[in-house]
Structure 1
Amino acid sequence: MSDDLTTGLRELAESAEQVPPLSGAGIRHLAQRRRRRRRTITALGGTAAVAAVALALVLNLGGSGAVRQDVPAKRPTSAPTRQPAPDVEVDLSSRRLVAGGRSMPLSSGLARTPTPTGRMTVVSRDPVTVVTGAVVGRPHDLRYKVPWVIRLRADDGTTTAVFGMITDETVPGVYDFTSGWIGLRTADAKWLYDRLPTGSVVDIKGHAPAAPAWPTPST
C-alpha cells in the first residue's frame, strides 16, 4: 500500500476518534475534507488495481520469467504437382514406341551417337526433310529425303526427331544405326505424324540393346 494511502487512512481514523465541538461552518468544512480524503483513497486504490492488472498482462505476454509456447507450423495440405501422362512412350531397350494403344518397332542411335532420353515436347513437324546419310545409317556425304519428321526438344535444349526410315523398312525393331533420331517404318511414321500435334509430350527411356549394328549398306 502506498504512503499517501496509509497517511490518509490514519488521519481519517484519528479524526473519527476525536471530534471537537464545532460550529455549523466547521462541521461543513470537516465534511468537505473527509470527502476529499475518500476521493483520494479511491483514486489511489484504483491506480494500484490498474498497476496490478498491467503487471499480470506483462508476465502473461512473455515478460521476465514467462514461458512462451510456439505454435507449430501448419503442414502443407496440397499434394505435390504430378506430371501429366505422356502422349508417346519410347523404350529404346525393347525398340518399341507406344502411342494411342499402338506399339511400333523402332531403330535408335548407334553406341557412338545414342538417342537422348527423358521427357521431350513436339516442337515442329515436317512432311519431308532432307538429312545427311548419317541419320539413316548411310555414308555421311550423301543426302536423303525422309518423310513424316516430328522434331522433339527437352527443357535443357536436347533435341532428336522421329521419322520414316525409307532406306530400309526391315531395320526398325531389329537394329539401331541412326545418328540419334528414332526411325519408324514409313506407315507407322505417317500414322504417328497425323495424330501427334505440336506441344505433345514424348517420354524416352532405356538404351539401345548391346547388339551389333546393322552393316553399313553399300551405295
Structure 2
Amino acid sequence: MSDDLGTVLRELAESAERSPSVSGAGIRGLVQRRRRRRRTLTVLGGTAGVAAVALALVLSLGGSGAGRQDMPATSPTSTLSRQPAPDVEVDLSSRLLMVGGRSMPLSSGLPHTPTPTGRMTVVSRAPATVVSGAMVGRPHDHRYKVPWVIRLRADDGTTTAVFGMITDGTAPGVADLTSGWIGLRTADAKWLYDRSPTGLVVDIEGRAPAVPWATPSA
C-alpha cells in the first residue's frame, strides 16, 4: 500500500462517523489528486531553486542586476619617467651653447679628441685654471691660464668643462680646436660662470661639423 493511499484511508477512518462512505473509485481519485498536487509542488519548488541558482550565477559573474556596481575601467600606470629639462643645452653640430634664451658660439673638441656628449651636471667652478696648449689648440709644450672654468661630469664619470677661450676669440662658432672642452668667448664664459651653480644640468648633443679644419689666427 502506498503512502498516499494509507494517508487517504486514515483520513476516511477518522471521519467515518461524520462523513458519508466513499467508494473505492472515490478513494482512488483522492489518491490521484493528492499525487498531482505533490508533483506540482515538487516541480514548482525545483523551478524556483533553478531560478535562484541562475540569479546567483549572473550576479557573481558581473551581470546586470539591481544593486550591481560596475568597477571603472583602469589603465596601467606608466612606470616611465621623463628627465627634467636641462638648464643649459649644448649643440656641437651648430656650435652653440643655449641658456636662458641666449645663444653663445663655441669651439669644441677636434675629431681625434671629441667633446663627450650626454647629460652632465656642474660639479665645480674655478675663476682660472692652467691647462696645456693642446687643450686650446696650441703646442703641447705650452701652458695657458684660462678663465671662468665650469667643470661638468656625467653619471658614468665622463668629464669635460666650459671655459673662456682667451687664446683665440675668433674660434668659437667657427672652428673646433680643443682637446674635448667647450671654449666660449671670454665675455660669454664670464656671463655663464656667474649663473652656473653646482648641480646645474647641462645636455651636450650632436657632433662637431665634419669640415676641414683650418688653424685660426694666433
- TM-score (normalised: structure 2): 0.66
Does the aligned pair in 1 maintain the 2:168–2:217 contact within 8 Å?
Answer: no
Task: Please list every run of 5 or more consecutive structure 1 residues that lacks an aligned counterpart in the other structure.
Answer: 1-5, 23-44, 63-70
Percent sequence identity is 67
Does the aligned pair in 2 maintain the 1:176–1:214 contact within 8 Å?
Answer: no
How far has the Cα of 1:150 moved from its partner?
0.9
Q: In structure 1, how many angstroms separate the alpha carbons of the residues matched to 2:159 and 2:187?
A: 23
How far has the Cα of 1:14 moved from its partner?
4.4
Which stretch of the first structure deviates more once superposed, 92-101 or 49-58?
Answer: 49-58
Task: Please list every run of 5 or more consecutive structure 2 residues that lacks an aligned counterpart in the other structure.
Answer: 18-41, 62-70
The answer on 1:195 being equivalent to 2:208 is: no
Residue-by-residue CA offset, 1:160-200 (whole Å, 9 max, x unaligned): 11111121112111110111110011111011000111111
The answer on 1:169 being equivalent to 2:169 is: yes
Q: In structure 1, how many angstroms separate the alpha carbons of the residues matched to 2:175 and 2:79?
A: 43
Match of 2:129, SS?
Answer: strand
Aligned partner of 1:16 in structure 2 is 11
Q: In structure 1, how many angstroms separate the alpha carbons of the residues matched to 2:119 and 2:152?
A: 9
Match of 2:122, SS?
Answer: strand
Q: In structure 1, how many angstroms separate the alpha carbons of the residues matched to 2:6 and 2:185?
A: 117
Could you tell me which amino acid in structure 1 is paired with residue 184 of structure 2? L
Does the aligned pair in 2 maintain the 1:121–1:202 contact within 8 Å?
Answer: yes
Residue-by-residue CA offset, 1:40-94 (whole Å, 9 max, x unaligned): xxxxx9xx999868855885557xxxxxxxx896214779644333221211112
Q: In structure 1, how many angstroms separate the alpha carbons of the residues matched to 2:204 and 2:97?
A: 9
The answer on 1:207 being equivalent to 2:207 is: yes
Aligned partner of 2:23 in structure 1 is none
Aligned partner of 1:147 in structure 2 is 147
Does the aligned pair in 1 maintain the 2:171–2:216 contact within 8 Å?
Answer: no
Does the aligned pair in 1 maintain the 2:175–2:216 contact within 8 Å?
Answer: no
How far has the Cα of 1:145 moved from its partner?
2.0
Quick one: structure 1 residues 58 and 139, their matched pair in 2 at CA, closer, same or farther if it must change by over 3 Å?
same
Could you tell me which amino acid in structure 1 is paired with residue 12 of structure 2? E
Q: In structure 2, how many angstroms separate the alpha carbons of the residues matched to 1:14 and 1:98?
A: 111
How far has the Cα of 1:115 moved from its partner?
1.1
The answer on 1:108 being equivalent to 2:103 is: no
Aligned partner of 2:32 in structure 1 is none
Residue-by-residue CA offset, 1:81-134 (whole Å, 9 max, x unaligned): 443332212111121112222221110000111112222221221212222222
Quick one: structure 1 residues 16 and 114, their matched pair in 2 at CA, closer, same or farther if it must change by over 3 Å?
same
Aligned partner of 1:88 in structure 2 is 88
Quick one: structure 1 residues 20 and 176, their matched pair in 2 at CA, closer, same or farther if it must change by over 3 Å?
same
Q: In structure 2, how many angstroms separate the alpha carbons of the residues matched to 1:54 and 1:200?
A: 70
Match of 1:16, SS?
Answer: helix
Quick one: structure 1 residues 153 and 59, their matched pair in 2 at CA, closer, same or farther if it must change by over 3 Å?
same
